[in-house]
A and B are shown apart, each in its own frame.
Chain A
Amino acid sequence: AQTVTQSQPEMSVQEAETVTLSCTYDTSENNYYLFWYKQPPSRQMILVIRQEAYKQQNATENRFSVNFQKAAKSFSLKISDSQLGDTAMYFCAFMKRTGTASKLTFGTGTRLQVTL
């Protein structure tokens, strides 16, 4: 079974600064996807970024980028130029790519507070 670990329950960053959220996972699979989802106080789960395991290049989406280290099973999220609207719970998630269910396995989340 896959497990996803987010070791930072809470983090804080000042506006315009850069912050990195950590995520490690455990799997014996070779083909899989990794995701970061954002959950603001509105409770909506919003996709931030996705990474295919077979791609060596790290995914980027505007101010969000990942550092994907497949051998180390590490998938960290870097938020540059942090904004107040980035305040949210962030979940790392793993999904294996097989013929069976696309089951997302989530970490327990990191609560990020962006301050003035």
Chain B
Amino acid sequence: NAGVTQTPKFQVLKTGQSMTLQCAQDMNHEYMSWYRQDPGMGLRLIHYSVGAGITDQGEVPNGYNVSRSTTEDFPLRLLSAAPSQTSVYFCASSYSQRGGRDTQYFGPGTRLTVL
């Protein structure tokens, strides 16, 4: 298994541009989520999904959209990038939030810079 994969690894955007960060997992995990990591802070939850077709907001959702059309993929869209969105973005997945199998496994991250 490749686990959780993210593309791209690095990205530079200009203010106002849009882009999609890709996340995929091949472990048949039901639950997927996006976090951002800023200097001096831990990771903060942006959006999450408990299964295909179901998404919800996390702690810091403004400026981001998500959709989940398949179990494997969970893309994160920046509609109009702002410098405040400069961060490292992590995608994570787990089997479920129930049943004791909800340890989350993380992708390698995407470093995004917005100029």
Chain B CB count within 10 A is highest, among A52, A100, A101, A106, for A101
> Which residues from A are CB-within-8-Å of B108?
42-44
Spot the interface stretch: A13-21, A60-68, A78-86, A90-98: A90-98
Q: Name the one of B40, B92, B98 contacting A99, with C-beta atoms under 8 angstroms.
A: B98
- Please tell me if the beta carbons of B43 and A44 are within 8 angstroms of each other in the complex: no
How does the 8 Å CB contact mask read for A11-53 relative to B, with 1 for contact and 0 for none? Answer: 0000000000000000000000101010000111111001010
Q: Closest approach, in angstroms, between the C-beta of A96 and any C-beta of chain B?
A: 9
Classify chain B: how many residues form its interface, as a range. Answer: 20 to 34
> Which residues from A are CB-within-8-Å of B12?
none
- Please tell me if the beta carbons of B42 and A108 are within 8 angstroms of each other in the complex: yes
- Please tell me if the beta carbons of A45 and B106 are within 8 angstroms of each other in the complex: yes
- Majority DSSP secondary structure for residues of B touching A: strand
- Please tell me if the beta carbons of A103 and B102 are within 8 angstroms of each other in the complex: no
How does the 8 Å CB contact mask read for B92-112 relative to A, with 1 for contact and 0 for none? Answer: 101001101011111011010
- Please tell me if the beta carbons of A107 and B42 are within 8 angstroms of each other in the complex: yes
Please, how many angstroms separate the alpha-carbon atoms of A97 and B31 in the complex? 14
- Please tell me if the beta carbons of A43 and B97 are within 8 angstroms of each other in the complex: no
Q: Name the one of B42, B48, B97 contacting A93, with C-beta atoms under 8 angstroms.
A: B42
Please, how many angstroms separate the alpha-carbon atoms of A101 and B51 in the complex? 11
- Please tell me if the beta carbons of A47 and B105 are within 8 angstroms of each other in the complex: yes
- Chain B positions 65-96 with a Cβ under 8 Å from a chain A Cβ: 88, 90, 92, 94
- Please tell me if the beta carbons of B97 and A100 are within 8 angstroms of each other in the complex: yes
Q: Closest approach, in angstroms, between the C-beta of A5 and any C-beta of chain B?
A: 11
Q: Tell whether B50 is near chain A: CB-to-CB under 8 Å.
A: yes
Q: Closest approach, in angstroms, between the C-beta of A100 and any C-beta of chain B?
A: 7
Q: Name the one of B35, B40, B58, B90 contacting A101, with C-beta atoms under 8 angstroms.
A: B58
Q: Closest approach, in angstroms, between the C-beta of A92 and any C-beta of chain B?
A: 8
Q: Closest approach, in angstroms, between the C-beta of A7 and any C-beta of chain B?
A: 14
> Which residues from B are CB-within-8-Å of A45?
43, 90, 92, 106, 109
Please, how many angstroms separate the alpha-carbon atoms of A33 and B111 in the complex? 28
Please, how many angstroms separate the alpha-carbon atoms of A101 and B36 in the complex? 17
> Which residues from B are CB-within-8-Å of A44?
106, 108-109
Please, how many angstroms separate the alpha-carbon atoms of A47 and B105 in the complex? 7
Q: Tell whether A77 is near chain B: CB-to-CB under 8 Å.
A: no
